[in-house]
Structure 1
Amino acid sequence: MITANSTEPDPGTPARSIVITSLEHNSWQELEQGVTNTLERLQCLRLLDSTLLLLHKVITNMIKTMHRHAFHLAIERDLSLDITNKDSMFDELLQNELSTHGDRNIEQFCKKHHFQITLTFPREKDTLLQIDYPESCDSSTYLDNKLAKAIGFTLIRLAKNEGTSEYCSARIMRNMAKHPHHQAQTSHSQLLSQIEESDKAQAIFCKLGHGIMVFSSAGDILSISPAILDNLKLEVTPASTHALSNVIPGHFYNDVLWGLALESEDGLFENYRIRIRMPHDNSLSILFNVSGYRHHDMTIHTLWQVVSLDLKTTHTLAEGSILNEARVHNITRNYVPQLIEQKAREVVRLGGNALPNEECWLAILFCDIAGFTSYVENNEKEESVIHTLNLILGRITKAVRQHDGIIDKFMGDCVMALFKEPHKAVLAALEIHKHSYDFNNLRMRAGKDLLLLRIGIHWGKVVIGNVGSADRLDWTTIGDAVNTAARLEKNCGPGAILVSETLYKTITLADHPEIRFSKAFQLELKGKRNKETVRYIQTDNQSLLHDTRIIHAKN
């Protein structure tokens, strides 16, 4: 990394800033938007995912260093403890703080003392972004060299400006001059000849340490690559095949030799995972990925590849066909909250392996069926309660997704949904209300009880985090904003949409004249010290509200 003088951004195009004081704040979406715009300008948008991974690493490292420094200062000032931040006692105190409170207290200390990481996107040639950071983070400000070199970025430290000695600046630049392997895309790719393809395949085979094993139809090992024996720490001799035969699990023969290899006409199979215990140390094992085919003489030719994972995660991977695992995933994915699956994909994309705790502002929508308990009791023999419930929940889900919301959870007949934009939560509620109106008109004509919906919406700061134990975790939304939204729904009249004054002000500030509100009034909500100012959303279909004597507002 080199040092350069800072150049002033073009005054006609002010650089947007992102201030980060905590990893638990959901700043990555805003960062992604800024990076996307810049990469489009630099004409290399295909590098988006790898660039985000690069930035995630450097920013995470800097925030952790800043928090470590801040915690050390807090201990010195508040507790008068004379320990260095490299002391084991300091590490223990820091870990206890993070385990108990997350980084909330440390973040507040950072804000109070003006410690922050600021990202800006100057519109200058070859500049991805500028990072301004406390001097204490200087030693942790570096890029992943291999990844940075591969995609052509470099970190350039800027000369300090007078009067800002406590802060440093650096820029991440696109530097193709130092990226010799980059070349412009030609009009077409080269087609490999059969000989070239064979040569490259052989080289890849050797580099990856693949091995071949040929079985008779009865399961005897007829031939084997030395690489497989070497992986299992066995002597590379024909006699070692006997020791290997003893550690191959019996289900492998049933699943592969007499199962997958006999299923199709040509006997092709792919991606079967099998765990082999090390013959000389039963506590260790290697997970292999096996593919192959059945030869015309009924021998089974198999290709073995070591799945290279660390010991902790290796044991969490199931054995068997990946196709079967995909089938299991297809069954279970509909039971996994959309919020979790979406966030898990984002975490993996950024190189992580666990769902983080984070704070963000969301619109929380609660919706349930007024009088559903009484309906179930009175109609269990008359109609399919599950079918009716799923019909209603299906329409709610469709409306939520149509307006970019996420279903957080179903709780019986109640739905909790989350929206990043408050007006979209209201638009979804209006769409749900319209479906409910049409649905209940049909029920009214059929002489059936009405199933009117109550909807409550609030806008506020929430914490999305891991709740539960190691054996059973939920990654869900908690906080006072969630409780307020739930209380609004419980106090809402059947067939209506009740929103908080906070949400009303947020929407009206953004100018959404298509959404109409009633006059404000106050409600006393359970568990809240002060009365809440609320409003109803005005809808075009209010007539059913006058026909709800059968269904009451509260269960």
Structure 2
Amino acid sequence: MIIVDPSSGTSPDRIESFSLESDHSIIVTSLEHHVWQELEQEIVCSLKRLQCPRLLDSTVLLLHKLITNIVRTMHRHAFQQAIEDDLNIDIVSKDNVFDELLQNELNTHGDRNIEQFCRKNHFQVTLTFPEKTDTLIRIEYPESCDSSAYLDSKLAKAIGFTLLKQTDTITPAYYCATVVRDIAQHHPHLEQAGHSELLLPDDESDKVLAVFCKLNYGIIVFSSAGDILSISPAILNNLKLEISPTSAHTLTGIIPGHFYNDVLWGLALQSQGGLFENYRIRIRLPHDDSLSILFNISGYRHHDMTIHTLWQIVSLDHKATHTLAEGSILNEARVHNITRNYVPQLVEQKAREIVRLGGNALLNEECRLAVLFCDIAGFTSYVENNEKEESVIHTLNMILGRITKAVRQHAGIIDKFMGDCVMALFREPHKAILAALEIHKHSYDFNNLRMRAGKDLLLLRIGIHWGKVVIGNIGSSDRLDWTTIGDVVNTAARLEKNCCPGAILISETLYEITAHMDHPEIRFSKPFYLKLKGKRNKQAVRYVQTTSQTLLHDIFTTHHAKG
């Protein structure tokens, strides 16, 4: 999303209609605004120009850290200035009291109030993408944020980027930094891309040994009865055991029993050749039961029936380690395949993005979305009347499956299912309308078959609204939903409830933002006003349909009324 200063006279509802290609700039005033997707699109173009498209993920991570640091510092200074302006006193930003005030503000309101102060006072970070052979991005920021404008040195060096600063910018009190590609200085051998060599056996053995030592791997050889026959001192050292043969017997006693059952007498005997990989066990330190180490183990069964195992520490802090399951990673993958369909698309998609950017938690986010609600008119009565005649679950899943297909086909995301109701989200507003029309096309085909079979029609109602929403964590620590909330969501739900069965009702706001759509077959009704529950003022709305669906709508609604 391009964030436009309100003083420019540009309507906020028109922001999404601008193309990044017109000025190649993104203005950032908040970390809760969804700028990362647009930023990534520009990075893709820049990396292609720099002839290194494979660096996308690492470059996104590098810039995410840089921009996040700058914006957080900008917010810190803005919050300090806001307090000083309100209270007419000088505040020391490094004071613990100031930190507590800032954290309370962020916990209570997110960065919304600080972001508004930044816009009002023209504090912003401007990202541009010059068409230069060596430049990835140009970043202009307030001079008070200069100490935060730096790259992750290790990552930048690894992928060959440098940050160059200049202070003589056109905008007063602003500095500028450019991220440039400097292969010769940071990574000379990258210039020889495409040149590879095959390792000879001796060289390969030397490199394997070097990797083994560097990664602190260890070896344990077990007898078929589960006794430790030999062990690497490194494993004993990691467990803070004395480096001596007697410590091996201590280790035998603290290895969890399921390891022997699953690996020594399970995987190593059952699998072909006795090979097994990626089995995890947690061992508690014998001298401090509150601490444990999670190991990843692979190995094989030797022809003499001994079991040779390779041990690797999973490098996580102790607080996080206990949340990782033990056992076979293959089994964990099977569990994931079962449960993934129960995890909302929005959560899984965002979690992958967060991990890619180096984070470990879903944060609140503010953005503009089209919110679509769809349900089956009279479904409760249908269940009561048809429970013995046909499989209600099968029918419902067939309808929901077609809705889901249409949503995904038009780049939407299913936020949740609520019985026979579906809530879907769209970044691009016109695609919400296209998805709704596709849903009704499926509905007409489905109901045409039911009408021929003499069964009750199951007409869909769809309501869509567009505007600013907040996506955030709702619930308690042990049961969270990361979902969309706000007036836009409530309005979309009310539109759906007030929609005629078999029709699509959209807000005038959505119509205005999508009026430029070049789809001559789509017809919009004249606007009219509805009094929606919970809303003070009447809402301007329109019906939308295609020319081909008009006649079918009349036939079905007439048949439904007679029934």
Structure 1 distance, partners of 2:145, 2:167, is 16
SS of 2:140's equivalent?
strand
Question: Does the alignment pair 1:243 with 2:258?
Answer: no
Structure 1 distance, partners of 2:316, 2:22, is 46
Residue of structure 2 equivalent to 1:115? 123
- Percent of aligned positions with the same letter in both sequences? 76
Residue of structure 2 equivalent to 1:177? 184
Residue of structure 2 equivalent to 1:268? 275
Q: How far apart are 1:533 and its partner, in Å? A: 1.1
The code of the aligned residue for 1:515 comes to I
Question: Does the alignment pair 1:127 with 2:135?
Answer: yes
Q: How far apart are 1:204 and its partner, in Å? A: 0.6
Structure 2 distance, partners of 1:420, 1:47, is 26
Structure 2 distance, partners of 1:342, 1:283, is 35
Q: How far apart are 1:179 and its partner, in Å? A: 2.1
Structure 2 unpaired stretches of 5+: 1-20
| TM-score normalised according to structure 1 size | 0.94
Alpha carbons 1:370, 1:552 under 8 Å: kept: no
Question: Does the alignment pair 1:85 with 2:102?
Answer: no
Alpha carbons 1:35, 1:128 under 8 Å: kept: yes
Among candidates 270, 282, 288, match of residue 289 of structure 2: 282
Alpha carbons 2:281, 2:294 under 8 Å: kept: yes
The code of the aligned residue for 1:543 comes to L
Alpha carbons 1:423, 1:512 under 8 Å: kept: no
Alpha carbons 2:444, 2:552 under 8 Å: kept: no
Q: How far apart are 1:165 and its partner, in Å? A: 3.4
| 1:175-214 alignment runs, 5 A limit | 175-185=182-192, 189-214=196-221
Alpha carbons 2:159, 2:187 under 8 Å: kept: no
Q: How far apart are 1:279 and its partner, in Å? A: 1.3
Question: Does the alignment pair 1:350 with 2:364?
Answer: no
Structure 2 distance, partners of 1:81, 1:471, is 43
Mean CA deviation greater in 417-426 or 510-519: 510-519
Q: How far apart are 1:351 and its partner, in Å? A: 0.8
Q: How far apart are 1:311 and its partner, in Å? A: 2.1
Q: How far apart are 1:550 and its partner, in Å? A: 7.6
Residue of structure 2 equivalent to 1:505? 512
Alpha carbons 1:14, 1:122 under 8 Å: kept: no
Among candidates 130, 153, 158, match of residue 161 of structure 2: 153
Give a deviation string over 1:73-123, Cα, whole Å, max 9, x none: 111121345431111111111111111111111111111111111111111
Residue of structure 2 equivalent to 1:35? 43
The code of the aligned residue for 1:333 comes to R
The code of the aligned residue for 1:465 comes to G
Alpha carbons 2:29, 2:118 under 8 Å: kept: yes
Residue of structure 1 equivalent to 2:11? none
SS of 2:76's equivalent?
helix
| 1:28-67 alignment runs, 5 A limit | 28-67=36-75
Structure 2 distance, partners of 1:63, 1:375, is 54
Question: Does the alignment pair 1:253 with 2:292?
Answer: no
Q: How far apart are 1:43 and its partner, in Å? A: 1.0
C-alpha change, 1:49 and 1:146, in structure 2 (3 Å) is: same
Structure 2 distance, partners of 1:513, 1:189, is 56
Q: How far apart are 1:189 and its partner, in Å? A: 2.4
Q: How far apart are 1:336 and its partner, in Å? A: 0.3
Residue of structure 2 equivalent to 1:447? 454
Alignment length (residue pairs)? 540
SS of 1:435's equivalent?
helix
Q: How far apart are 1:344 and its partner, in Å? A: 0.8
Structure 1 distance, partners of 2:22, 2:433, is 33
Structure 2 distance, partners of 1:506, 1:423, is 8
C-alpha change, 1:30 and 1:520, in structure 2 (3 Å) is: same
Q: How far apart are 1:161 and its partner, in Å? A: 3.6
SS of 1:165's equivalent?
coil
Give a deviation string over 1:123-145, Cα, whole Å, max 9, x none: 12311111111111011111111
Among candidates 416, 420, 434, match of residue 427 of structure 2: 420
Among candidates 459, 468, 474, match of residue 466 of structure 2: 459
C-alpha change, 1:249 and 1:358, in structure 2 (3 Å) is: same
C-alpha change, 1:341 and 1:198, in structure 2 (3 Å) is: same
Structure 2 distance, partners of 1:170, 1:47, is 20
Structure 2 distance, partners of 1:22, 1:121, is 20
The code of the aligned residue for 2:258 comes to H
Q: How far apart are 1:183 and its partner, in Å? A: 2.9
Structure that is richer in helix per residue: 2
C-alpha change, 1:426 and 1:180, in structure 2 (3 Å) is: closer
Alpha carbons 1:288, 1:304 under 8 Å: kept: yes
Residue of structure 1 equivalent to 2:347? 340
C-alpha change, 1:547 and 1:18, in structure 2 (3 Å) is: closer
| 1:262-411 alignment runs, 5 A limit | 262-411=269-418
Structure 1 unpaired stretches of 5+: 1-12
Structure 1 distance, partners of 2:192, 2:391, is 60
Mean CA deviation greater in 344-353 or 78-87: 78-87
SS of 2:219's equivalent?
strand
Structure 2 distance, partners of 1:551, 1:352, is 52
Give a deviation string over 1:191-244, Cα, whole Å, max 9, x none: 112222111111111111100101111111111011101111111111111211
Structure 2 distance, partners of 1:178, 1:186, is 16
- Two-structure CA RMSD over aligned residues (Å): 1.7
Structure 2 distance, partners of 1:183, 1:100, is 48
